[in-house]
Structure formats: structure tokens, C-alpha cells
A = this chain, B = another copy of it.
Amino acid sequence: MAEKVVLLDFWASMFGMRVRVALAEKGIKYEYREEDLKNKSDLLLQMNPIHKKIPVLIHNGKPICESLIIVQYIDEVWNDKSPLLPSDPYKRAQARFWADFVDKKVVDAWIKLRSTKGEEHEAAKKQFLEILKTLEEELGEKPYFGGETFGFVDVAFVTFYSWFYTFETFGEFSTEAEHPKIIAWAKRCMQKESVAKTLPDQQKVYEYVLGVTKRSLGE
């Protein structure tokens, strides 16, 4: 049976990018559909009525939602190449834990960074840097979070690399200066075709965020 794979996504979404990286790692052919987040398609609202968010993977007409759940699904169905999750249950639990950490912490910290001023902003910056520190410690001397090979946690976090210039400009810090190992790791991931072809240009992302911020502040 011919597989039909459709991805409802938004170019700048670090969550959508995770799915694109996973699909590329597995060499899966799919139809990419760009969503206008201010004018969501009927298909998106039908396929994800609960959250109404991208990304949504539609596999042979059936939707899967939530980026990390989609990536695990892709890994389980197309299990013939490039395994993303480890085979050992304990290592698998650790991988899920760290992907969940990225989900719970990084986005929240970014929201605080972009929406605060003065003392609150300083606190948000500190918190953001703490999170990067924790991730750097978890990476340690490993080439990837997954160990010797690119894995689930790498997919979960590397997509944020396209947003680093944005985070750094809003937060007034340099990731390279504060947490060089993270930059080294990100650049290592960027040598993979699946990552390099997926992540948009950091400047483009920054301009997009600037545009959205101006609109939300009524400037």
C-alpha cells in the first residue's frame, strides 16, 4: 500500500521542525503544507480539534498531534533505519525525560524573556542561562545527547538552534560565550543533512519574531 504522509506545519515552528528532521532522518516522502497561523485551515481544525495547533502529521488519513508524540510514532513505524529512541528501556526513559525538560522549560523561559523588562527581564535571562547550563551538563563530553549517535533529545532540542539568534538578541547574551559546548553540539548536528535542510536561517526567524512582537505591542 502506498504510504500517504502529510505534514501541517509552520516554517518557523521549532516543534514542526522536529517532525521535519525525523521524517528526513527516515527518508520519508511527504507533502508539506504551510499553515497561516492567523487563518488556520479547515483541515488543521478538523485534524487537531483539541489543540488546533501545528504540527500535525496525517498518515494515511489519520492524524497524530504533539511534536514529541509524532516523532516517537515516526520512529516506531519507520523502524528500519536511523533509530531515534534507544532500545534500552532505561535509556529510553532518560531520553523522554530530557525531551520533556526542553518542552517544559525552554519555551516558558523564552516567553518570559521576550515579555519582560527591567528586573523581571534580568531574572528571565538568568533562568534561561540556567536551563542552557543544565543541558550543557547533561550533554557532558558526548557528541550528541543521544550518545554516539543523533537521537530523540537531539531532535527535540536542535530545532531551537534556529531561534538562538532571537533568544540572544532579546536576552542580550551570547550562547557561544556562556555555553560553548551547546554551540559545538548544534554545529555538529548541522552537519547532518536532515538538520541543515530543515532549520531556517536564524536571521529570518529573528525578523519574523520582531514582526510578530511589533504587532502584538501595537507598534
Of A90-98, A165-173, A178-186, A205-213, the one contacting chain B is A90-98
Q: Please encode chain A, from 76 to 110, with 1 for each CB lying within 8 Å of some chain B CB and 0 for all others.
A: 11000000000001101100110011000000000
Complex: A101 Cα to B93 Cα, angstroms: 20
A62 at the interface (CB under 8 A from B): yes
A91 to nearest B CB, angstroms? 10
A28 at the interface (CB under 8 A from B): no
Q: How many copies does the complex hold?
A: 2
Nearest neighbor of A69 in chain B, beta-carbon distance: B96
On chain A, the number of residues with a Cβ less than 8 Å from chain B's Cβ atoms is: 21
Pick the contact of A64: B72, B77, B90 (CB < 8 A). Answer: B90
Complex: A50 Cα to B134 Cα, angstroms: 8
A189 at the interface (CB under 8 A from B): no
A153 to nearest B CB, angstroms? 13
Nearest neighbor of A79 in chain B, beta-carbon distance: B89
A66 at the interface (CB under 8 A from B): yes
A73 at the interface (CB under 8 A from B): yes
A195 at the interface (CB under 8 A from B): no
Cβ–Cβ contact B89 & A76, under 8 A: yes
With A89-B77, A93-B64 already in contact, the answer to whether A101 and B69 are too (CB < 8 A) is no
4 nearest A-B pairs in the assembled complex, by CB-CB distance: A76-B89, A73-B93, A69-B96, A64-B93
